[in-house]
Amino acid sequence: MKRLAAIFVMLFTCSLFLASGAIAADNLLIMTDVNIDKVIPKLAKLDLNDNEDLEKGREFLDRLDVRIVKLSGKLNHFGYDVFNGGYIDYHATVPDANVWIAEYPFTREMNFQSDDTGWWTIFVVKSSKENLEFSFVYEKEGWITTKSNVITVTDEDNTDIAIQYIDPFYFNFAMVPIVEGMVMQMTGVPFTFVNAMVVTVGKSWASMHSDLLPHGDPGATVSSNPPLNFPVAIGPLYFNEQVQPDPAWGYTSKDGGVAWVNVPINTYDITAQKEGVNYDTVRFNMTEADVENGVVLYIASPPDSVEGDNDSAPGEW
């Protein structure tokens, strides 16, 4: 609690600099109390969005055992155009969405947002060699509040974060009715959609920032710890090659998508299995606070999803 209180004090102090215009970067998150009396005055003189100033800040803070880490990501506008038909352009993005960190709920009030290009950036000031765990929450009025898997923040920049941010019309008027009807047909009882957890089982090169498509690794099966099977949840539901959850599939298609529906609150580790391939494990923290904050979707998007070491070409096994 003492460390957390110190962080709040630092954030308040930082906000005073921001209010006076002394710190040029308004996307700054201070997550350390190491040498903070020296850190803030130095940052007050720098524009972290300028690469030259950023390097000056890093050179100074390195001597104090403090790091500035640049996190940057893109919100991909994902789904099907229910009005005009056809899939939404793969390169489409979502501007003006709020981005905050579930593990540190005060960040919801810090106004980190995606810009006109759908990209966001946060500069994290942290103690050297002390990793942090961030689950990003994406929210925008009229859209579906979405939470990412846990992403580890190290001393290195991470500038290729991504989220498949589902089109709200596609979700509400197509996906939810389809899933509810599918599950009712599977179980024989009425079903109401509450939430979903989605991963992509991908190739080693899979990324929402790459035009190599499809990025899924076909022929893999997934597992979760603790186990997630009926009746605990509905799933795993593998996506077919038309990018739809399909109970007839028992393994991943070349799309690579897998979903679980109506997942209970818990922490889940998800990975995949396929002969000759090793896969990453992703973690989702599902909490009571998520319910209160309106989180509906939990999505791990490439390159931070269940990626394996299979480097074969798109669509190949």
pLDDT for position 37: 85
* pLDDT of 21: 32
Question: Could you say which of 64, 92, 107 is where a domain stops?
Answer: 64
Whether 9 and 84 map to the same domain: the answer is no
Query: How many degrees, rounded to 5, is the angle at CA 165 between CA 160 and CA 166?
Result: 150
Q: Where are the alpha helices (DSSP H) in 86-188?
A: 168-170, 176-187
- The span from the CA of 236 to the CA of 238, in Å, is 6
Last residue of one domain, picked from the residues 64, 87, 103: 64
CA dist 49 to 11, 70, 221, Å? 19, 10, 42
Residue 18: predicted pLDDT: 39
d(CA 307, CA 282): 9
Provide the pLDDT for residue 57.
93
pLDDT at 14: 45
Report residue 19: phi and psi, to 5°: -65, -35
Which residue segment(s) compose the domain that 6 sits in?
1-64
User: 149 and 24 in one domain?
Assistant: no
Neighbours of 224 (CB within 10 A): 23
Residues 37 and 168 in one domain: no
My answer on whether 58 and 95 are in the same domain is no
Q: Tell me: do 14 and 103 sit in the same domain.
A: no
Q: What is the structure's pLDDT at 25? A: 52
CA dist 136 and 234 (Å) reads 24
Series of mean pLDDT values for 10-residue runs along the chain (317 residues): 41 39 63 85 88 94 93 97 94 98 97 97 95 98 98 98 98 96 94 98 98 97 96 95 94 98 98 98 98 98 98 97
pLDDT for res 35: 81
> Which class for 179: exposed (0-12), middle (13-18), buried (19 or more C-beta within 10 A)?
buried
Domain endpoint, select from 64, 81, 108: 64
- Asked whether residue 27 falls in the same domain as residue 154, the answer is no
CB crowding 265-283: b at 16 or more within 10 Å, else e: eeebebbbebeebebbebb
CB 218 within 8 A of CB 258: no
Helix, strand and coil in the chain, % to nearest 5: 20, 30, 45
Cα–Cα distance for residue pair 215/200, rounded to 1 Å: 8
State residue 13's pLDDT score: 40
C-beta atoms surrounding 309 within 10 Å: 12
* CA 150 from centroid of its chain's CA atoms: 8
What does the block give as tokens for 58?
């890093």
* Pair 22, 87 in one domain: no
Q: Are strands 119-127 and 66-78 parallel, antiparallel or unpaired?
A: antiparallel
Q: What is the pLDDT of residue 19?
A: 35
Identify whether residues 261 and 317 lie together within a single domain.
Answer: yes
Cα distances (angstroms) measured from residue 151 to each of 87, 228, 304: 28, 22, 8
Structure tokens that stand for 31 in this block: 């997550």
Query: How many folded domains does the chain comprise?
Result: 2
Domain match, 203 and 77 both = yes
Q: Which amino acid is at 50?
A: D
Is the same domain home to 102 and 24?
A: no
Shared-domain flag, residues 160 and 107: yes
Same domain, 60 and 77: no
Cis peptide before 41 (omega within 30 of 0): no
